[in-house]
Structure 1
Amino acid sequence: MQAKLEHVNITVPDARATAQFLQTLLGWETRWEGAALNDGYTVHVGNERSYLALYSPKPDLKGQAPRYDHSGSLNHIGIVVDDLKAVEDKVAALGYIPHSHADYEPGQRFYFDGPDGVEYEMVSYD
């Protein structure tokens, strides 16, 4: 049996804004969007094989959850890209600060904090 990850569902302040950001940065498409749980709104953004489900609840959010020190917390989202340098240039042009660069077996990576309180890891396997 072979399993594949199809999607991850995360809560963000504005699902439409995060989807637009990811479309601009990565060229992703909106696969679906509409009404969601508890009068919220969801946008599925990605490609034909996988996507992020971005959920925004109707009531205001309570702030950002801590990362890396709570069980079950979202630490970051890793996205494989073909041209790491081009994506890093685009991240910087959009006003975000790339950090934690590393060359490691088997690739290269950097991280940045997005507009939605989510940390993103961009990785390339050459």
Structure 2
Amino acid sequence: MANARLEHVNFSVTDGERSARLLEQLTGWHRRWEGPSLDNGRSTHLGDDHAYVAIHTSPRIAGDFAKSVPMNHIGIAVDDLDAAEAVVIEHGLETFNHGKYEPGPRSFYFFDWDGIEFEVVSYE
């Protein structure tokens, strides 16, 4: 069997620039590419040299996405969980479900403006 890795995740939001700014500050990722996309939209590819998220928006995206339909959440690992939480709060978002799972990471969750759930973890 071949070795595999996640290359990208593509999701839709109502305000791509706002979402990109949040994720840039939260992760330190850079904009690999951005430009016109499907349905007269715009996409931003944000990540590192190995993987990225494709943040898509278009006039057809109205919001009101339902939780867990079909995606549950996006997990992001960071070095400093407290600093990451401060970034999320600075953007006016609420964090919840803080926890530590043995023997794993500390974590918290938040919903972005479109109801997409993120889990932020730190293995510090």
Q: Does 1:111 find its partner at 2:109? A: yes
The superposition leaves residues 3-36 of structure 1 with CA deviations (integer Å, 9 ceiling, x where unpaired) of 0001100011122221112112222211101111
Q: Which amino acid aligns with 1:90?
A: V
Offset, 1:87: 1.0
Compute the displacement of 1:65 (Å).
2.4
TM-superposed deviation, 1:90: 2.4
Counterparts of 1:35-74 in structure 2, within 5 Å, are: 35-61=36-62, 63-67=64-68, 70=69, 73-74=70-71
1:81·1:123 contact (CA, 8 Å) conserved in 2? Answer: yes
User: Counterpart in 2 of 1:27?
Assistant: 28
3-state SS in 1 of match to 2:24:
helix
Q: Gaps spanning 5+ residues in structure 2: where? A: none
Are the counterparts in 1 of residues 13 and 63 from structure 2 also a CA contact under 8 Å?
A: no
Verify: 1:94 aligned to 2:91, yes or no. Answer: yes
Cα pair 1:18 1:116 within 8 Å, conserved = no
Change (3 A) 1:115 1:41: same
DSSP 3-state at the match of 2:18: helix
Report the more deviating stretch, 44-53 or 54-63: 54-63
Q: State the aligned residue count.
A: 122
Structure 1 Cα separation of the partners of residues 41 and 89 of structure 2: 31
Identity between Structure 1 and Structure 2 (%): 40
Equivalent position amino acid for 1:29 in 2: H
Select between 89-98 and 31-40 the one with higher mean Cα deviation.
89-98
Q: 1:99 to 1:75 in 2, by over 3 A?
A: same
Deviation at 1:58, TM superposition (A): 2.5
Gaps of 5+ in 1: none
4+ residue segments displaced more than 6 Å:
none
RMSD, matched Cα = 1.6
